[in-house]
């Protein structure tokens, strides 16, 4: 009888956890995307005068200064930075002599993905936490903004030595100030639901030159580690569809298609590609695509023992 009571108690506990996560998810779907509509907020921000704040010398280094010209302590994004050509790619090593590593800001349940919620853009991801839980810095860097900001509530933006910026929103308390130098793992605030938030959670964003992109291109939210040690930034990095990953769509998993147009009088040929993800092997890709390892090697002119690089595309036919 005692054993049966324990089983019943465990079942009820799991049911409450499942119900609680479902309630959290629904609350997040109902709240304004990203705490605010970025397009609506950007217009009044652009009318503010250009900030006179000089970039702190500690972050005014070659690996960062070629991508940024301003140090805005008031707004998440306001002034256009030096932008790469849409045809160019930029390789951002996530670790360099100025960096010590990566630490997950909060090791909580993943609640809500990046991307459009209806007509609004959810510019980051939401991670479950409890009120007062410590929120830590992801990479080494310098605090660019630390203030209450629109729907983000108490918000911190940090510019990192790898060229990226991260944003931490809905904090109950901010523990850092502008121009503070921080290390990966340093506590920058406490969890809460300030701003346009219906429950306690961390709204976390990754940005490059002010533009948000899906943090899943950097981080595995299953094991709280980076998916690679380098981020390749192209125009495709900044897609805004729900849970967007370059080369991956919800309907086609990791398969993408492109058309190579031939000269006049020839039919266009459809070429199918697969974007390599963590854990992929030639054998697993061949099973997913309905082809063989031998065919994949022949098409891509590679050997069966080739090491696959995350984010690279492999031709399927």
Q: What is the CATH number of the domain that holds 282?
A: 3.10.350.10
Tell whether 190 and 65 lie within a shared domain.
yes
Q: How far is CA 14 from CA 10, 19, 230, 298, 304, in A?
A: 6, 9, 39, 50, 45
Tell whether 266 and 207 lie within a shared domain.
no
The C-alpha atoms of residue 304 and residue 147 are separated, in whole angstroms, by 53
Query: Structural domain of residue 174, as residue ranges?
Result: 31-238
Residue 96, in any domain of the structure: yes
Residue 7, in any domain of the structure: no
Residue 247, in any domain of the structure: no
Residue 195, in any domain of the structure: yes
Tell whether 164 and 283 lie within a shared domain.
no
Residue reference for tokens 């605010």: 36
Tell whether 89 and 207 lie within a shared domain.
yes
Residue 11, in any domain of the structure: no
pLDDT tens for the chain, 317 residues: list them: 555 655 666 655 555 555 455 544 445 555 555 544 555 555 566 666 666 789 999 999 998 999 998 999 999 987 767 665 545 789 999 988 888 899 999 999 999 999 988 778 899 999 999 999 999 999 999 999 999 998 899 999 999 999 999 999 999 999 999 999 999 999 999 999 999 888 999 999 999 999 999 999 999 998 999 998 999 998 889 998 889 988 764 434 444 444 443 334 444 445 677 777 767 788 777 766 667 788 888 888 888 888 888 777 888 76
**Token couple for 138:** 């992801």
Tell whether 191 and 302 lie within a shared domain.
no
Per-residue pLDDT, 103: 96
Tell me which residue of 166, 107, 184 sits closest to 156, measured CA to CA. 166
The C-alpha atoms of residue 243 and residue 253 are separated, in whole angstroms, by 12
Tell whether 230 and 283 lie within a shared domain.
no
| Domains: count for the chain | 2
Tell whether 230 and 128 lie within a shared domain.
yes
Domain end call among 238, 269, 296: 238
The C-alpha atoms of residue 277 and residue 158 are separated, in whole angstroms, by 28
Per-residue pLDDT, 14: 54
Residue 112 — φ and ψ, nearest 5°? -150, 135
Tell whether 72 and 131 lie within a shared domain.
yes
pTM, 2 dp? 0.69
Q: What's 155's domain CATH number?
A: 2.70.70.10
Tell whether 168 and 233 lie within a shared domain.
yes
Tell whether 94 and 218 lie within a shared domain.
yes
Domain end call among 238, 265, 286: 238
Measured torsion, CA atoms of residues 236, 240, 241, 242, in degrees rounded to the nearest 10: 120
Residue 269, in any domain of the structure: yes
Tell whether 60 and 206 lie within a shared domain.
yes
Tell whether 98 and 204 lie within a shared domain.
yes
**Token couple for 301:** 């002119």
């Amino acid at each position: 009888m005692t054993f049966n009571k324990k089983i019943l108690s465990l079942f009820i506990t799991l049911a409450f956890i499942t119900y609680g996560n479902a309630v959290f998810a629904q609350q997040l779907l109902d709240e304004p995307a990203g705490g605010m509509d970025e397009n609506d907020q950007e217009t009044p921000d652009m009318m503010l005068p250009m900030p006179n704040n000089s970039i702190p010398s500690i972050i005014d280094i070659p690996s960062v200064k070629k991508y940024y010209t301003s140090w805005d302590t008031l707004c998440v994004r306001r002034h256009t930075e030096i932008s790469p050509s849409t045809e160019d790619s930029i390789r951002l090593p996530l670790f360099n002599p100025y960096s010590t590593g990566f630490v997950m800001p909060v090791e909580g349940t993943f609640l809500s993905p990046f991307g459009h919620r209806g007509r609004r853009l959810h510019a980051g991801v939401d991670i479950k936490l409890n009120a007062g839980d410590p929120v830590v810095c992801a990479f080494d860097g310098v605090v660019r903004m630390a203030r209450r900001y629109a729907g983000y509530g108490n918000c911190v933006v940090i510019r990192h030595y790898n060229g990226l910026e991260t944003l931490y929103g809905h904090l109950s308390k901010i523990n850092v100030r502008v121009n503070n130098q921080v290390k990966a793992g340093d506590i920058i605030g406490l969890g809460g639901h300030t701003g346009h938030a219906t429950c306690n959670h961390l709204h976390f964003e990754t940005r490059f030159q002010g533009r948000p992109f899906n943090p899943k291109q950097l981080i595995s939210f299953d094991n709280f580690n980076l998916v690679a040690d380098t981020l390749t930034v192209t125009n495709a990095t900044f897609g805004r569809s729900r849970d967007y990953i370059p080369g991956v769509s919800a309907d086609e998993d990791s398969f993408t298609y492109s058309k190579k147009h031939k000269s006049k009088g020839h039919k266009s040929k459809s070429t199918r590609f697969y974007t390599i993800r963590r854990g992929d092997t030639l054998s697993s890709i061949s099973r997913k695509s309905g082809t063989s390892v031998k065919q994949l090697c022949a098409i891509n002119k590679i050997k069966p023992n080739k090491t696959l690089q995350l984010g690279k595309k492999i031709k399927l036919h």
